[in-house]
Amino acid sequence: MTRLAALARRPWIWSFVAALTVWAATILFTGGSSTVGLSQAALTFAAFSILVGIGQMFVITLGPGNIDLCVPATMTLAGTVALKFMDVDNTLILPGLIVAIAIGVAVGIGNYALIKLLQIPPIIATLSMSFIVQSTAIWTNRGLRIKPPEALAKFTTETSFGIPNVAFVALVLSVLAYVLLQRTVYGRWIAAIGQSIRAARMAGIPVDGTRFVTYILCAVLAAICGYLLASFSGGAALNMGSEYLLMSIAVVVIGGTAVAGGDSNVPGIWGASLFMFLVVSMLNTYGAGAGIRLIMTGLIIIAVIVLAGGRNPNQR
Amino acid sequence: MRKILSSDTIRLLIPALSLTILLISVFYLQPRAMSYTGLNLLFNLSVPIALATIAQMLIMTVNDLDLSMGTFVSFIACVAATFLQATPVLGILILAAAVATYAAMGVLIHVRNLPSIVVTLGMSFVWGGLAVLILPAPGGQAPEWIRAVMISKPPFVPMAIIASITIAVVSHFLIMRSSFGVILRGVGGNARSVERAGWSIIRARAATYALAAVFAILAGISLVGLTTAADANIALRYTLLSIAGVILGGGEFTGGRVSPIGAVIGALTLTLAGSFLSFLRISPDWQIGAQGAILIVVLGLRLLLNRLERREKRA
């Protein structure tokens, strides 16, 4: 019983409870016939949200006002340029990934340069940056849909041991992120900066360096996600990142990470990402139209945050 | 000299300066814009953006952020082009319900101590869904009277300019000069001290959100007056535009430091930036990018002037 109570206090448990409930509701409606398909689809699509969500979580943990609005543009640019570079050549898959990561690093450096040198609030700095990155993507893409290399397309769309490959990628990166946050000095620094930037500075933490690395990390994760998503969906499209802007923020917050910063949560991102996908597919199975689906999604997000967010308002 | 320019004035000086520079460059590129019709065309679309920016600024005054601004304005535009046109009474009831929803949102955010970003994020889906339900395909028709107001041609000064100035003056008096405005900014600056002084913060937040909804509703209605028809995605850009407008105008995300006049100027600057780029004949590929660059340049300018101000203070 005490173990159950301790579990209930974990901020991430609620997103999993919600995801499981919605999953069960959908399965019950279809009489269990869609169990495997639904679970695989959920894991696949959640994997992409998880990748961008983790990056966004690192940034949000840095404290109030820190947010990366450049995520969708970075995804698009990285996906476009990487696919163009690989040019359906299977041997260039790894160099292509490196190209995508390099774009992420470049965007991250650009973001932080604006924040630090021009002292622009992160929300506006990353917004301005996203305009420029998006333009670059339009310029390189020219409306053409470039196909991914065959082996890569196969890897991203297939499953091994019944679990989608992209979910494995997300799992590996999540574990790395968890270790980074919980077990390394860098992770402690992020949390400390998020809790009080003044105190962190006085404690001798390299605040600028930590923030710099964090913005790069977020952009790199977005770039990797763009690379995988473009390969998964058979080519890079200019609007492929657009839905991930709100999604990346939503999964972080529903997952139990404090919006005020200083307290992050990797498992919650998994629960929230699965939940976000499952809600939409549940409403689809119930035959709801686009309008109803949007309204329900919104109301459910609010309901979850009201139930989970107000748990202990006196904390902090 | 130092006494004459308060830091608030300097805050306002930078956005005004950037607008002037941008306006001069537009006139230089296209002298024909320097006319009654030219100015009207340049600033026409800035009226709804300015109203949405003021709405966003109100929310930012109490340290919150509204990510649903764009979808809300779209929703209102859809209501205005359908219900408000066909059955005005029902239309007004819907608008009143929307204001009440905003007030309830403010109360909910306050009582449950929720992050406004997430609640408004959720609401953006709701407004978007409602808009799709009302107008699944672009259509509807603007009510006659709105159309008449928006395209009216007062003597000497174009409608767009008169409207912008009115918005700026009205909101300035509301936020900077009234006791209600002082409480609002107090909530943003130090909620605890406002509470100790005997004011209800819940009521202040609810009022802020309701007032923001009123401005956003005006934005949606004026937008329909300009476009004559509506569509569920008509104003999605407004979320980011309104935030950028407030910041360009010298407002801050926290601390209740806002400037209504600055916000209107910021909205005008953003609108003008679009026209400026098309006059420059920049390839469409780079239009969005150049808008980002203008944003960066203006904010860089602000940093420079802030530094100068600080140096002057030290001297």
Domain-located, residue B73: yes
Taking an 8 Å cut-off on Cβ atoms, the answer to whether B292 and A130 are in contact is yes
| Per-residue b or e along B122-158, where b marks 16 or more CB atoms closer than 10 Å to that residue's CB | bbbbbbbbbbbbbbeeeebebbeebbeebeeeeeeeb
Q: Which helix (H) or strand (E) holds B4?
A: none
Q: Give the range of the structural domain holding residue B209, as residue numbers without chain letter.
A: 7-310
Task: Please classify residue B180 by burial: count the beta carbons closer than 10 Å to its beta carbon, then call 0-12 exposed, 13-18 middle and 19+ buried.
Answer: middle
Tell whether B82 is covered by a domain.
Answer: yes
CA A177 to CA A179: how far, in whole Å?
Answer: 5
Q: Residue B114: list chain A partners with CB under 8 A.
A: 305-306, 309-310
Give phi and psi for A164, each to the nearest 5.
-60, 140
Q: Identify the burial level of A213 via C-beta atoms within 10 angstroms of its C-beta, where 0-12 means exposed, 13-18 middle and 19 or more buried.
A: middle
Residue B129 has its nearest CB partner, among A118, A138, A291, at A291
Q: How far is CA A287 from CA A26, A274, A282, A290, in A?
A: 11, 20, 9, 10
Alpha-carbon span A302 to A74, nearest angstrom: 28
Verify whether the Cβ–Cβ distance A294 to B123 is below 8 Å. Answer: no
Residue B122 to residue A302, Cβ atoms within 8 A: yes
**pLDDT score recorded for residue A311:** 44
| Cβ within 8 Å of B, A 279-298 | 289-298
Q: Is A263 on the interface with B (CB under 8 A)?
A: no
Instruction: Give the DSSP per-residue string, chain A.
Output: -HHHHHHHHSTTHHHHHHHHHHHHHHHHHHTTTTHHHHHHHHHHHHHHHHHHHHHHHHHHHT-TT---TTHHHHHHHHHHHHHHHHTT-GGGHHHHHHHHHHHHHHHHHHHHHHHHHS---HHHHHHHHHHHHHHHHHHHHTT--PPPPHHHHHHHH-EETTEEHHHHHHHHHHHHHHHHHHHSHHHHHHHHHHH-HHHHHHTT--HHHHHHHHHHHHHHHHHHHHHHHHHHTTS--TTTTTHHHHHHHHHHHHTT--TTSS---HHHHHHHHHHHHHHHHHHHHTT--HHHHHHHHHHHHHHHHHHHHTS-TT--
Q: How far is CA B267 from CA A54, A123, A285, B138, in A?
A: 34, 17, 43, 26
What ipTM does this complex have? Answer: 0.78
Best to test chain A binding among B114, B233, B236, B297 (most A CBs inside 10 Å): B114
Domain tally for chain B? 1
Q: Judge whether B139 lies within some domain.
A: yes
Task: Give the integer Cα–Cα distance in Å for A54 and A176.
Answer: 11
Q: DSSP letter string over B16-42?
A: HHHHHHHHHHHHHH-GGGSSHHHHHHH
Nearest-CA distance B156 → chain A (Å)? 36
Following DSSP, what letter does each residue of B197-250 receive, concatenated?
TT--HHHHHHHHHHHHHHHHHHHHHHHHHHHSSB-TTTTTTHHHHHHHHHHHTT
**Structural tokens at position A221:** 């994760």
**A-chain residue closest to B297, CA distance:** A118
As a whole number, mean pLDDT of residues A183-191 equals 85
Residue B254 has a pLDDT of 72
Distance from CA of B292 to the nearest CA of A (A): 4
CB contact (8 A) between residue A309 and residue B113: yes
Q: Which two tokens stand for residue A247?
A: 């999604």
Q: Could you write out the three-class secondary structure of B288-310? A: HHHHHHHHHHHHHHHHHHHHHHH
Could you give the CA distance from residue B86 to residue A199 in angstroms, rounded to a whole number?
Answer: 60
The domain segmentation of chain A, as residue ranges, is 11-309
Q: Do B130 and A295 touch (CB under 8 A)?
A: yes
Tens-of-pLDDT digits for all 315 residues of chain B?
445 566 677 777 778 888 888 888 888 888 887 788 888 878 888 899 999 999 999 998 888 888 889 999 999 999 999 888 888 899 899 999 999 999 999 999 888 887 787 788 889 889 999 999 988 888 888 888 888 888 777 777 888 888 888 888 998 888 888 888 888 888 888 888 888 888 888 888 899 999 999 999 999 999 998 888 888 888 888 888 888 888 888 777 777 778 888 899 989 988 888 778 777 777 777 777 777 887 788 777 777 777 777 777 666
Distance from CA of B231 to the nearest CA of A (A): 13
B223 located within any domain: yes
Give how far B136 is from chain A: nearest CA, Å: 8
pLDDT for the residue A277: 85
> Is residue B206 included in any domain, yes or no?
yes
Query: What does the buried/exposed string (b/e) look like for A113-130 if buried means 16 or more CB atoms within 10 Å of the residue's CB?
Result: ebbeebebbbbbbbbbbb
Burial classification of residue B300, based on how many CB atoms lie within 10 Å of its CB (0-12 exposed, 13-18 middle, 19 or more buried): middle
Gap between the Cα atoms of B58 and B217, Å rounded = 14
Distance CA A300, CA A250 (A): 12
Question: Which tokens belong to B140?
Answer: 């509807």
| Residue B182 CB neighbour total at 10 angstroms | 16
A277 or A1, higher pLDDT: A277
Nearest-Cα residue of chain A relative to residue B287: A135
The residue in chain A having the minimum alpha-carbon distance to the alpha carbon of residue B305 is A118
Which residues of B are less than 8 Å from A114 in CB distance? 296
Residues in chain B closer than 8 A to A305 (CB atoms) = 114-115, 118-119, 122
Tell me the per-residue pLDDT of A4-38, one tens digit each, with 9 for 90 and over.
Answer: 666 666 667 777 877 888 888 787 777 767 777 77
The nearest CA of chain B is from the CA of A73 a distance in Å of 11
Residue at B132 is within a domain: yes
**pLDDT, mean over chain A:** 80
pLDDT over threshold 80, residue A191:
yes
pLDDT recorded at residue A314: 37
Q: A100 is written with which tokens?
A: 């995508």
Query: Tell me: the pLDDT tens digits for A69-121?
Result: 888 888 888 888 888 887 777 777 788 888 888 888 898 898 888 888 877 77
A34-50: b (≥16 Cβ within 10 Å) or e: eeeebbeebbbbbbbbb
Decide if B182 is inside a domain. Answer: yes
Q: B245: closest CA among B37, B49, B5?
A: B49
Of A114, A123, A254, which has the smallest distance from its Cβ to B243's Cβ?
A123
Given 1.20.120, 3.30.70, 1.10.3470, 1.10.1740, which CATH number is that of A11-309? 1.10.3470
pLDDT digits 0-9 by tens, A222-259 = 999 988 888 888 777 777 877 888 788 888 877 777 76
pLDDT in the model for residue B51:
93
Tell me the pLDDT band of A143, cut-offs 50, 70 and 90.
low
Cβ distance of A132 and B123 shorter than 8 Å: no
- Closest in B67, B285, B292 to A129, CB measured: B292
CATH number for the domain spanning B270: value is 1.10.3470
Domain assignment present for residue B1? The answer is no
Q: pLDDT band at A144, cuts 50/70/90? A: low
Give the per-residue pLDDT at A3: 66
| Residue whose C-alpha is closest to residue B182's, from B204, B214, B212, B167 | B204
Nearest C-alpha in B relative to A280: B125
Q: How many CB pairs under 8 A join A and B?
A: 140
Mean pLDDT over A185-189 rounds to: 85
Element (H, E) at B44: none
